[in-house]
Amino acid sequence: MEYKIVMPRLTDTMEVGKIVRWLKKVGDKVEKNEPIVEVESDKAVMEVPSFQSGILVKILAEEGDEVPVGEPIAIIETDEEKAKEILEKKKETKVSLKEKVETKPKEEKKEEEVLFPFEMELGLEEEKGEKLPEGTASPSARKLAKELGIDIEKLQEEGKLPIPAHEKDIKEYFYSQFFTEEALKLAKDYGLSLEDIYSVYKDKEKINEKLVQEYIEEKNIPKEEEINSVQKALIQNLRKSLEIPTYHIFQEIDLSLIKWDEKRTLTAWIVKVIGDFMHENKLLRTIYKDDKFIVYPAANVSVAVAVEGKLYAPVIKRANTLSVEEITKKLREFKEKAERGNFSPDELTGGTFAVSNLGMFGIDAFDAIIPPNHVGIVAIGSEKENGKTNFTFSFDHRVINGREGAIIVSELVKKLTDEKYIKSLS
CA distance 366 to 357: 10
List of residues 6+ apart from 392 with CB closer than 8 A: 248, 249, 250, 251, 365, 366, 367, 368, 378, 379, 381
Instruction: Identify the CA nearest to 40 among candidates 72, 73, 66.
Output: 66
Tell me: pLDDT of 115 over 70.
no
CB 284 within 8 A of CB 271: no
CA distance 64 to 20: 6
CA distance 58 to 26: 6
Cβ-based neighbour number of residue 197 at 10 Å = 23
CB 145 within 8 A of CB 160: no
DSSP state of 283: G
Task: Count CA atoms within 13 Å of residue 12 on its CB side.
Answer: 16
Residue ranges, comma separated, of all CATH 3.30.559.10 domains in the chain are: 230-425
* End-to-end CA, the chain: 57
H or E stretch covering 355: strand 353-357
Q: What is the mean pLDDT of residues 276-295?
A: 95
ω into residue 164 within 30 of 0, thus cis?
yes
* Residue 123: predicted pLDDT: 39
Instruction: Tell me if the domain spanning 2-103 has CATH number 3.40.50.1370.
Output: no
**373-392: pLDDT as tens digits:** 999 999 999 988 888 999 99
Q: What is the mean pLDDT of residues 21-45?
A: 87
For residue 118, what pLDDT band results from cuts at 50, 70 and 90? very low
CB 311 within 8 A of CB 263: no
Q: What is the CATH number of domain 230-425?
A: 3.30.559.10
Q: What is the mean pLDDT of residues 83-101?
A: 63
Dihedral angle sign, alpha carbons of residues 335, 338, 354, 393:
positive
Task: Count CA atoms within 13 Å of residue 344 on its CB side.
Answer: 6
CA distance 356 to 267: 8
**132-175: pLDDT as tens digits:** 778 888 888 888 888 888 888 888 888 888 888 888 888 888 88
Tell me: pLDDT of 109 over 50.
no
Instruction: Identify the CA nearest to 246 among candidates 370, 365, 351, 356.
Output: 370
For residue 56, what pLDDT band results from cuts at 50, 70 and 90? very high
CA distance 379 to 374: 14
pTM above 0.75, yes or no: no
For residue 43, what pLDDT band results from cuts at 50, 70 and 90? low
* Residue 128: predicted pLDDT: 52
Beta pairing partners, 383:
389
Strands (E) in 160-309, as ranges, are 246-254, 286-289, 292-295, 301-303, 305-307
CA distance 222 to 299: 46
For residue 205, what pLDDT band results from cuts at 50, 70 and 90? confident
DSSP state of 126: P
For residue 117, what pLDDT band results from cuts at 50, 70 and 90? very low
CB 309 within 8 A of CB 415: no
For residue 111, what pLDDT band results from cuts at 50, 70 and 90? very low
* Residue 46: predicted pLDDT: 83
CA 113 centroid distance within chain: 50
Burial of 106 (C-beta count, 10 Å sphere; 0-12/13-18/19+): exposed
Residue ranges, comma separated, of all CATH 2.40.50.100 domains in the chain are: 2-103
Look at residue 53 and give its three-state secondary structure: coil
Beta pairing partners, 4:
75
CB 204 within 8 A of CB 211: yes
Burial of 82 (C-beta count, 10 Å sphere; 0-12/13-18/19+): middle
CA distance 238 to 371: 8
Burial of 118 (C-beta count, 10 Å sphere; 0-12/13-18/19+): exposed
